[in-house]
Amino acid sequence: MCVRFGEATDIIGKIKLNEVKLNRESHVGILQGKKGLILGVANNKSIAWGVARAAHREGATLGFNFLGEQMEKRVRPLAESVGAEIIAPMNVSEEDSIDAFFAQVKEQWGELDFIVHSIAYANKDALRDPFSQTSREDFHLALDISAYSFVACAQRAAPLMKAGSSMVTMTYLGAERAVPGYGAMGVAKAALEASTRYLAADLGESQGIRVNSLSAGPIRTLAASAVGDFRKLMEKSSRGSMLKRNVDQEEVGNACVYLLSDLASGVTGELHYVDAGFHIGAGDPGIE
């Protein structure tokens, strides 16, 4: 049988297309069979939602928390879209609320493979006013919600985890540098990063649990709207980064699922940057 060149090309093309479809159908994600919590989704622009989408794509079974009825209206449809098995209230400033949430996780799942902590809050005055004017109340609030909440969740999650399980929290460069408009949140993030190292030492030795933090570049989120001149901050980050651009939720999500997966089995206590290389440079080079 004689096959013309054009026909042969079509046949080869169909074979390759079928191979692609087969690969997609047979794809086993790096989180396949794992159950984990995504804590702190506010809406579809949240960094935590970028992580949730990536984790879902990689086969994870997910659970979510929300704070109050208004937030539930945003979170529940998103969580249901990725087949979440747990969607429950949790206020990290209240011990009883944290206990109730993790009691539900224990009852429904019995065990956990990972948690992603993306919870932070500070009063706007604590961000916009000079840091030297930060009130004791605002200082306590920022550290309690943004840093201690990770410790509190880790305490409840660890008994449900086995060796090789993973915890990841979200931080920002403002923990290391004095970023304008970040104020008390920068101090809270510094405490969060230190907490990551001490949790890694404690839980790694006692249970073989890995704990890491991920420092994302500036991304437009609901929380970012509280930072003054955020547009200028993004412009500076883009100019000063090695890739000459900012990152997005999907890129952060992809990096996070690596840290959650067995591919990062030897990684703990790390601060992993996803900021297009901004942190290794000298900052904003200015406008040409």
Please list the active-site residues: 172, 182
Which residue has 């985890």 as its token pair? Answer: 161
Q: At what angle do helices 149-157 and 95-108 cross, to 10 degrees?
A: 30
Other CB atoms within 10 Å distance of the CB of residue 58: 20
CB 226 within 8 A of CB 124: yes
CB 166 within 8 A of CB 210: yes
The three-state DSSP-derived secondary structure of 162-221 is EEEEEEEEEECHHHCCCCCCCHHHHHHHHHHHHHHHHHHHHHHHHHCCEEEEEEECCCCC
Other CB atoms within 10 Å distance of the CB of residue 257: 30
Which residue has 């970023």 as its token pair? Answer: 179
Residue type at 149?
A: S
H-run or E-run covering 73: helix 68-81
**Residue 2 backbone phi and psi in degrees, to 5:** -95, 125
Distance, in Å, from the CA atom of 96 to the CA atom of 90, rounded to the nearest integer, reads 9
Q: At what angle do helices 47-57 and 249-260 cross, to 10 degrees?
A: 60
Tokens of 98: 């944290």
